[in-house]
Structure 1
Amino acid sequence: MDELTSDEGECPPAGGLAGLLHPLTEPEFLRHRLGTEPVLIRGEDERFRGLFGWDDLNEILAAHRADATRTHLVRSAGGIALATCSRPVPQLAPRGRPSRLDPELLQQALAAGATLVVDGIEEMHAPLRTLVAGVERSLGALVQANLYANLGGAAQGFHTHWDDHDVLVLQTEGAKHWDLHPPTLDHPVGVLSDPPRPAEGVTSWSGELTRGDVLYLPRGWWHTVRAVPGRPSAHLTLGSRLPSAGDLLRRLLVRLAVEQPAVRRDLPRFADERTAADWYAQLRGALTDAVAEPGLLEKLAAELDEGAPARARFTLPHGIPGEAPR
């Protein structure tokens, strides 16, 4: 794995992918590094000061209600559940049963070895939303930022595992120990792949990420992540599932299902042999003609490359930009 050093100071949220990758240029990363091997970029201690830190996390936890679909406690000592760290929200009009994390109870859970996880945290923090939107424009794909925080005595939050999406890891506070293991299956894809676990003790890189560092990890790379005793840690993962050949073939099948009756028909499970043979011949012909059509696959790939879905942007009281006034 290449280990580079960035001599730039604070990383501005508007800097997007290019700001995170320095000294790599964005074109160099996209053409030669993306989807190949991990890259570690060591940064200055204050690199993410204006982006995210403990104060920002504390404000988010204080200002938002507990949402079990977003916030989790992982591998907490004593089996402490997130719900036990919450208290009902006092409210004038009862609407449901909302709760908010209790600072003392959460502190106790983290001190007992839990790791706090907040999914999609960019939706709750404007600087991160700006950064993520810039990375989305560069990659042409949806990006989600998740937060992982511990107090330095946490048990290993997750077993050694691989992700089915590419990840940029931003160490915003403290330190975390990482062991990286090469893929045991080329280009694994979600639930379709079950690669064998890496051999015990076989690592391609082992070390600590410290504040200001960025690690790029392509999908399929196994990793083991552990807390560093006595060093509270907060890191962000910017994950993106990039379009694959499988996505292209799914789009092709949708097109064929619209255009070709043979693709829409039920399987001839109860038909006589001749009828079934005719159907299979029609289906083979439809598939062969489609993949042989000049430029079709390229056109469908271009549609996949149109970019991430637009994020909601509110402009009250003026209405949606471009919408005719009512």
Structure 2
Amino acid sequence: MLTYDLCWLLGQSADEFWSEKYEKSPALWRGDGRRFNELFGMEDFERYLTISGCSDGAIVLAPPGGTSGRLDPHEVELAWRAGYSVIAADLHKRWPEVITLAADLGAAMCCALAVNAYLSPPEGSAFARHYDAHDVFILQTYGSKHWLVFDPADELPVMHTQNAQLNRDSALALDAELRAGDVLYVPRGHPHVATAGSEGSLHLTVALSPSRWVDLAHALVDVLAQQSVELRRTAHDFTSFTTTDLMRKLIEANDASASICMTELQRYLDRDRVDTALPGGALESLISDHERVGLDTVVQRRRGGPVRWGLRDGRVWLTVCGRRMELPEVAVSALEYLSRTEQFRISNLPDAYSDRAKVTLVRAWLREGIVLRTQVTHD
């Protein structure tokens, strides 16, 4: 089973990316022109137009200012011929293979991903020079596109900026033409602009949303405020206080809430996130006779999002792809095993559990759709 991890994306070890490129400088990797054919090619784009019915939000035209709202495929074609780029939005929620890409790559990079497809006409450009507040990978699937990426105008920004705000004196950091199979990495804060070649261009933009220290700080304040009345009181005449006074308030609230841990902060950050479960055997597994499950049964973890779990009030909670359940605290070892093992034979669960307990636990996971039965054997 192909896994769309970082090594697959780059076509090599990811060690240099993490040490030399991530959040530092743009980078380009050349690849075989057919390697992204199964993800989202030109035929897939046309099929997407038909299946989505060009419903609200499914298709966006760029640059902004053209027709908006619900568009039929004919209107989209006319807009493309008129010079507009056509964006298939939120493919990480709408297209099975891209959902798989976002799930696998997101798990490998420990962050949420969003994926859009950009179809640009010959010599077309979707946006003027700008920079983003998130890192992106560009996966060229068809045609070619000429990219200019500049030195950062704002190191690791927290907000996007538009063309009018850019420093035009930024030095050129990368000048490259992407062809089908190539991958480009652009860190946040690096201004960039891209123009399609003579045959047009189709590429996937994969936007990364990791948990930054500033996100954890926001989460800490919000979680502390849920437990501290002092932080919820009105800040009368706060201009007479210093930031040191404010930090003292937070430290006092934190000291009084010793139960807060980093896992709880991550859970708070993920509160509105719904992982999309991937297609493939789910319905068939759910209606199977789980009473026939035994120690030799092979199951696989539901793909589409990471395993999230934690302890609360003597119970352990578990979420996978939006499925949530609670278990006794003794299930911790089993959840640790589940979080690091994609496919396993039931008998291979930790020896801390009896054979009967292993089978009972996996039957519960099957009923909740957290794992699926598979015919593939793996020890």
> Alignment partner of 1:236: what SS?
strand
In structure 2, the CA distance between the partners of 1:323 and 1:267, relative to structure 1 (3 Å rule), is farther
- Percent identical among aligned pairs is 25
Return the alpha-carbon distance in structure 2 between the equivalents of residues 260 and 286 of structure 1: 10
| Native 8 Å contact 2:154 2:190 kept in 1 | no
1:178-257 alignment, distance < 5 Å: 178-190=147-159, 197-199=166-168, 202-228=171-197, 230-257=198-225
Return the alpha-carbon distance in structure 1 between the equivalents of residues 42 and 163 of structure 2: 37
Task: Tell me whether 1:310 sits opposite 2:275 in the alignment.
Answer: yes
Return the alpha-carbon distance in structure 2 between the equivalents of residues 194 and 210 of structure 1: 26
Task: Tell me whether 1:58 sits opposite 2:46 in the alignment.
Answer: yes
RMSD: 3.7
Give 2:352's aligned residue. none
Deviations 1:3-29 (A, max 9, x none): xxxxxxxxx962322200122x23443
Task: Tell me whether 1:39 sits opposite 2:31 in the alignment.
Answer: no
2:119 corresponds to which letter in structure 1? A
Task: Tell me whether 1:81 sits opposite 2:67 in the alignment.
Answer: yes
In structure 2, the CA distance between the partners of 1:125 and 1:139, relative to structure 1 (3 Å rule), is same
1:1-326 alignment, distance < 5 Å: 14-23=3-12, 25-75=13-63, 80-82=66-68, 85-86=71-72, 101-102=73-74, 105-154=75-124, 156-190=125-159, 197-199=166-168, 202-228=171-197, 230-269=198-237, 283-289=246-252, 299-300=261-262, 303-304=265-266, 309-312=274-277, 315-316=282-283, 318=286, 321-323=365-367
> Alignment partner of 1:190: what SS?
coil
2:122 corresponds to which letter in structure 1? G
Shift of 1:239: 0.5
| Native 8 Å contact 2:52 2:58 kept in 1 | no
1:58 corresponds to which letter in structure 2? E
| Native 8 Å contact 1:186 1:220 kept in 2 | yes
In structure 2, the CA distance between the partners of 1:178 and 1:283, relative to structure 1 (3 Å rule), is closer
> Alignment partner of 2:149: what SS?
strand
1:160 corresponds to which letter in structure 2? R
Deviations 1:51-77 (A, max 9, x none): 22111111111122222323111138x
2:95 corresponds to which letter in structure 1? H
> Alignment partner of 1:231: what SS?
strand
- TM norm structure 1: 0.75
- TM norm structure 2: 0.65
List gaps (5 residues or longer) in structure 2.
288-322, 324-364, 370-379
In structure 2, the CA distance between the partners of 1:313 and 1:83, relative to structure 1 (3 Å rule), is closer
Return the alpha-carbon distance in structure 1 between the equivalents of residues 170 and 222 of structure 2: 45
Give runs of ≥4 in structure 1 deviating > 6 Å.
191-195, 279-282, 290-293, 305-308
Deviations 1:181-202 (A, max 9, x none): 1112222102699995132584
In structure 2, the CA distance between the partners of 1:80 and 1:186, relative to structure 1 (3 Å rule), is closer
Return the structure number with greater relative CO, CA threshold 8 A, min gap 6: 1
Shift of 1:106: 2.7
In structure 2, the CA distance between the partners of 1:64 and 1:281, relative to structure 1 (3 Å rule), is closer
List gaps (5 residues or longer) in structure 1.
1-11, 87-100
> Alignment partner of 2:202: what SS?
strand
| Native 8 Å contact 2:152 2:170 kept in 1 | no
Alignment length (residue pairs): 286
| Native 8 Å contact 1:263 1:283 kept in 2 | no
Shift of 1:284: 4.4
Return the alpha-carbon distance in structure 2 between the equivalents of residues 153 and 193 of structure 1: 21
Return the alpha-carbon distance in structure 1 between the equivalents of residues 228 and 190 of structure 2: 39
